[in-house]
Amino acid sequence: MPAQRSLEQSSTFEYRLAQEAINLRLQARGMPAGVRRTELLRKARQIDVAGDINKWLTSPGLQPPS
């Protein structure tokens, strides 16, 4: 288990999110239209949005509330 943790920590959060979205889209590509395929594509879009929000939150221009 420790070897797996060090592998996860070697890549950035944004990279891991992007890879997960790609994997979900690849899974969905091989499926017929239906609920499961729709769920996979929805999850991929949610992950894309999470990455965008993370970029915004960690941007240097973001100011704390006053």
- pLDDT value for 46: 97
| Structural contact between residues 24 and 42, judged by C-beta atoms closer than 8 angstroms | no
pLDDT band at 15 (very low <50, low <70, confident <90, very high): very high
Mean pLDDT, residues 24-34 taken together? 94
- The Cα 51–Cα 48 span in angstroms is 5
- Digit-coded pLDDT (tens) for 52-65: 988 888 888 877 66
For residue 19, the Cα-to-chain-centroid distance in whole angstroms is 7
Neighbouring CB atoms inside 10 A of 8's CB total 9
Quick check: pTM over 0.75? no
